[in-house]
Structure 1
Amino acid sequence: MKTNILKIAVLLITSFMVQACADDFLDVKLKNYQTSDNYFTTEASALAATNSCYDPIKGRGLFGENFQYFFYPADDRILFETPGQEQLLYTADNGNIGGNSINFALWDGIYRGVFRANMALEKIPPIQFKAANEPLKQRYLAEAKFLRGLYFFYAKILFDTPPVILKVLKDPSETVSNATSEQVWNQITTDLKSAAEVLPPSYDDANVGRATQGAANAMLGKAYLYQQKWDSAKIFLKKVIDSNVYELIKAKAETKEDYIAAYQCNFTPKDLKVGTRTYKAENNKESVFEIQNSDNTEMGYPNGEWSPGNGSDGSLLSAYFCGVTGYKNVCPTAEAAAIYEDGPATLSLTKDPRFYTGIFTTADTLSKNPNSKFYNKPWITGYAPATNQGVGLKKYYYPVHESVPAAPFFDPNNWRLIRYSDVLLMYAEACLQLNNDADGKGLAQLNEVRKRAGIPTIGTLSKEAIIHERDVELFGECLRYHDLVRWSMLPTPWVNPENMKYLQGYYKKGHNEYLPIPQSEIDAMQGNLKQNDYWK
């Protein structure tokens, strides 16, 4: 596909003007015809512009399907469905994925988001708000800056030297060029810092899910962690901890069901009940930022289900990755099931409670709800692809999505993009890297994550402890590939993906740390946009 998404974004706006002027010899003016120049005039239009910035991240190109499709089977814990292509990232059109449709979809989703953020940042400032609503105007702009920083973050960690576009491109012939790695990181931190100064710590129920100050600080900490700027990473992650807005969801009773529910509620669309005790699911105290989905089919059924964030409010995740009702595209490795420690003996759990959220085994039933068609039905290996090793992917796909007749489409489960446990583990890592955790505060936060699971605390913080805890706590959340990459790029590498099972023979140092910039984009930019150094 030769069409450039950056130009598509321009054409979406200029098409208004082209249509209006095509028959100008008739000298007819359409009084009610709206363009980008006359639409953004009211407070309501400012809100619409802000809301539109959230849609691309939940779209099919990003976390509505393709991000997971690419990065589930990119590490050593999850396999793709096709024998011989178990690590899809390295085997699909290997060495020439610049034009790969999934690769382009990621780029497409990112720059649709950047375009919408730039539109909001350009069109909202001239709008006259009531004096009492001026803080609301500033919040809208801060939300747009947070989201632009978020989109640029993914552009950086996926493509290394992408363009930094800070305006709405109005001329379809206009081209862009690469930014340096430093320039991209500087823009990310500039946007996020600006957002953090204005965004509120929380919202009322009507606005839950919007970007918060905590989300901006967490992303700043993460951005600095990726840059190996440990002191800055520690500062911003500590701000999230000290805000007292977030906490780990912990068991409300000393039963195995409670310990499992306290973790599992972070990956289900509905609150979990254990006896009379309730564990809040979406947008709970552990959620720092999550992508909002719903099973509302009014927008576009049939056919709209294929366009999350546009024709659908739900994702395609169950359709592609829930082996019970979907296409069963991926499955965990046996090693993924084996990484979990023994469970608390007092709870009669064989394994760490987190195992029972992440991994399906033949000991599992698909639903405990008597009204479900899967009630008391066992999980079988037939629900996993041919590459399965006797286990299935459970996190995010239990209970099985069946809330609407169109299921497994319109998956309502929110994708938790930043969880508080991730913040604690990143903080622990920054502490270790900065001064070997001299004050023990990094160890204390890592042990909070372990205590929530009911497993013994450890006495020394080490790289091995951090690697292991991120492995089990964040399994199935599409973070491990990026962890392996950044750990392999340390001055003294913590890991070598080239020597890891399932990656050996596929992953190439100096090549697979990033994806190639899509060739169609390079061609459309007439030589101004270059391929990144990892794919030249």
Structure 2
Amino acid sequence: MKYHKKHLLAFLSSALLLTTGCEKDLLDQPNPNLPTAETFWKNSQDATKGIVAAYSGLQLLGNYRRWIYFDYDLRSDEGFSSSPWPELQNFTKFILTDYNFEVNAVTWGNHYVGINRCNQVLAYVPAIQMDGTLKTQILAEARFIRALHYFNLVSLYGRPVLATEPSTADYRPPQASSEQEAWDFIVQDLQAAKAGLPVSYSGADLGRATKGAATALLGKAYMQQQKWAEASTQLAEVISSGRYSLAADYRDNFRHDRENNSESVFEVQFTAEYSADRDDDYAGASEASQRAQFFGLPSKGWTDGEARSWLIDEFLREKTTTGRKDPRLAATLFFSRNRTGYPYDATDPVDQDDKAYDNQTLDQRFSTDAYNRNRVYWRKYENDYWKNVEGYYSPINHRVIRYSDVLLSQAECLNEQGKTTDAMALINLVRRRVGLADLSGLSQSALRTQLMHERVTELAGETWRWHDLRRWGLLDNQAGIDQLKSRDPDFSNYVVGRSKYLPIPRTDVDIAGLAQNPGWN
């Protein structure tokens, strides 16, 4: 489902103004052409437009269009930024002096724009006279989307503001008293979403949130709290449903022409359609992803986001059963086979996946430029497979949850409960897809370490690494930070007790009287 905003009413772009009353005097008359909450929510068509607008909140700059990848992928040990914009580069190095810096402020603010749209649906759709099944579904979709927004907010900020009503001038929602209160709120939303969502869609509705999506995200929410049994119960439901399977080709998960496939549990839908303004949020504005432009290699994109070289070593730890390199390496990264320190056998034949745009390898592209040739670039979600340049209008959907992630997550939950043999069976399903040999005979401790490797090789660059580091406790003590620092020197700037959370933008702290996160003045 591509969530086109064309013909949606303008109120969905400025929710606060349109839910605020105005003085009734001669100099302040309401615009009769401007819809308000009282005049808009009348029928099932309006309810449908409202939920489409809620989905579009996931396409905002501070969400899956652009900045979320800097928040997660580049602040983890998998990536970094060498952007010529110093503040952006410093953001990924845990150096932030201006709490209102664009990436931080827009991430926080855009998530609340999306939450407010969900809250409007939840507040006004119940009173609409419409088909009951459709109403239940739309309300459940709103709860799922709101939960996904809060999943990001609690993971990045710890204690978000828990807004449950449409925004008005007088509404002052409370800040979560603890991170646990925020997780409890997310769980409640997902339980309600799970109960009201259908198991599947077809036709133009393909891509909307399903029961499986809510169940999987609920499982992952329990995992982040290390509630292994509760998480396992949810993830087992997704697996036993029989609705999902691994795509035959790993790379199909990062192409615009293989979207919403059998492996997809939930995707943020993007298209290459655009208006004259690529950033604004209004009816008819761009619904394209900008990740490819910001992560594209030199001359093809901005290269504001790069990958750490240790990822190559991780992929090269073992060969396939036929003696070849793990095919996920070439699907994940652009790199030179002749780069300094590259440990792989130079006699290994070059295959098509070593080539990038214009059917050139990095050695060919940067034949006289050793600096660029030795950098490591992200290939996931780039458009090199069908065109030779990047831009602001990538149509590639972002796969928020894939079935392989469900399998690996369930394996982790089972292993933590002592069911190590059962856990290995699930991991082996993921490994077989890319031709790796089955695991066997590992202890619980050894499999815990192995899972850290498996999640990197399967999910690198997909926004989950930061969550993994949090769950494994590596962000909570200096020993963990020293381990990360050995792979990513940016962690030299990480301060235990402060850097785990981003600071709440100062504007919001000052205006709303919010408690700032620890260590941030």
TM-score interval, smaller chain: 0.7 to 0.9
Distance in 2 of aligned mates of 1:389 and 1:13? 52
Q: TM-score, length-normalised on structure 1? A: 0.82
> Which of 419, 426, 432 pairs up with 1:445?
426
Letter in 2 for 1:446: I
* Alpha-carbon displacement from aligned partner over 1:240-285 (angstroms, at most 9, x marks no partner): 10111111112xxxxxxxxxxx001100112xxxxxxxxxx11001
> Which of 476, 496, 512 pairs up with 2:499?
512
Letter in 1 for 2:502: L
CA 1:365–1:390 in structure 2 vs 1: closer, same or farther (change >3 Å)?
Answer: farther
The answer as to 2:320 corresponding to 1:344 is yes
Do 1:365 and 1:379's aligned partners in 2 also have CA atoms closer than 8 Å? no
Letter in 2 for 1:320: F
The corresponding residue for 1:216 is 214
Give the match's secondary structure for 2:396: coil
Give the match's secondary structure for 1:354: helix
Distance in 1 of aligned mates of 2:320 and 2:492? 38
The answer as to 2:17 corresponding to 1:12 is yes
- Give the Å deviation of 1:505: 1.5
Give the match's secondary structure for 2:267: strand
CA 1:367–1:225 in structure 2 vs 1: closer, same or farther (change >3 Å)?
Answer: closer
The corresponding residue for 2:292 is 318
- Give the Å deviation of 1:481: 2.2
Distance in 2 of aligned mates of 1:78 and 1:489? 16
CA 1:367–1:419 in structure 2 vs 1: closer, same or farther (change >3 Å)?
Answer: closer
- Give the Å deviation of 1:286: 0.4
The answer as to 2:41 corresponding to 1:40 is yes
Distance in 2 of aligned mates of 1:456 and 1:310? 49
Alignment of 1:208-287 (within 5 A): 208-250=206-248, 262-270=249-257, 281-287=258-264
Distance in 2 of aligned mates of 1:420 and 1:447? 14
Q: TM-score, length-normalised on structure 2? A: 0.85
Give the match's secondary structure for 2:45: helix
- Give the Å deviation of 1:137: 0.8
The answer as to 2:509 corresponding to 1:522 is yes
Give the match's secondary structure for 2:243: coil
Stretches of structure 1 lacking an aligned partner (at least 5 in a row):
1-7, 251-261, 271-280
Give the match's secondary structure for 1:218: helix
CA RMSD of aligned residues (A): 3.2
Give the match's secondary structure for 1:416: strand
Do 1:196 and 1:216's aligned partners in 2 also have CA atoms closer than 8 Å? yes
- Give the Å deviation of 1:494: 12
* Alpha-carbon displacement from aligned partner over 1:106-142 (angstroms, at most 9, x marks no partner): 111211111011000001011111xxx2101110000
- Give the Å deviation of 1:532: 2.3
- Give the Å deviation of 1:447: 1.2
Distance in 2 of aligned mates of 1:12 and 1:110? 17
- Give the Å deviation of 1:89: 3.7
Greater shift, 503-512 or 28-37, is seen at 28-37
Give the match's secondary structure for 2:472: helix
* Alpha-carbon displacement from aligned partner over 1:22-76 (angstroms, at most 9, x marks no partner): 6468xx8876552111111011000011111111212111110001123332122
The answer as to 2:463 corresponding to 1:484 is no
The corresponding residue for 1:165 is 163
Letter in 2 for 1:424: L
Give the match's secondary structure for 2:361: coil
Do 1:333 and 1:388's aligned partners in 2 also have CA atoms closer than 8 Å? no
Do 2:90 and 2:96's aligned partners in 1 also have CA atoms closer than 8 Å? no
Distance in 1 of aligned mates of 2:284 and 2:419? 46
The corresponding residue for 1:155 is 153
Give the match's secondary structure for 1:53: helix
The corresponding residue for 1:49 is 50
> Which of 204, 207, 210 pairs up with 1:206?
204
- Give the Å deviation of 1:388: 7.2
Letter in 2 for 1:263: Y
Q: Give the number of equivalent residue pairs.
A: 485
Do 1:56 and 1:109's aligned partners in 2 also have CA atoms closer than 8 Å? yes
Distance in 2 of aligned mates of 1:126 and 1:482? 38
The corresponding residue for 1:259 is none
CA 1:382–1:517 in structure 2 vs 1: closer, same or farther (change >3 Å)?
Answer: farther
> Which of 312, 329, 332 pairs up with 2:307?
332
The corresponding residue for 1:498 is 482
Give the match's secondary structure for 2:168: coil
Letter in 1 for 2:16: L
Distance in 1 of aligned mates of 2:30 and 2:100? 43
